[in-house]
Amino acid sequence: QKEVEQNSGPLSVPEGAIASLNCTYSDRGSQSFFWYRQYSGKSPELIMSIYSNGDKEDGRFTAQLNKASQYVSLLIRDSQPSDSATYLCAENSGAGSYQLTFGKGTKLSVIP
């Protein structure tokens, strides 16, 4: 069974610091990876997708993928209190796959 593992946290970082969120996955066939942000009581919101090894940057967010080591990470630079949320990692096992498999999420708290 495919698994996506995340540290549940909470991860606490001071405002302005870099928050580093990590995710490992079990399926070597996984091809697409996603980071969702979920505020308490709200629905998940897609914030980053990454498909190839290396880094992908979007504003304060950087996603990193290492397929050989089967991990994905999300860096949040200049963390803000508004970044406090649960971050979900998800993977898709290939172009023919309908399903995303989600990790249980890491709760991030940014302390002012």
Residues that bind another protein (CB under 8 A): 32, 34, 36, 42-46, 49, 88, 90, 92, 95-100, 102-105
Measured from the CB of residue 55, what is the shortest distance to another protein in angstroms? 19
Cβ 110 vs Cβ 84: under 8 Å: yes
Taking alpha carbons only, the member of 65, 72, 97, 99 closest to residue 87 is 72
Q: CB-wise, 73 or 79, nearer to another protein? A: 73
Measured from the CB of residue 95, what is the shortest distance to another protein in angstroms? 6
Taking alpha carbons only, the member of 94, 111, 82 closest to residue 2 is 94
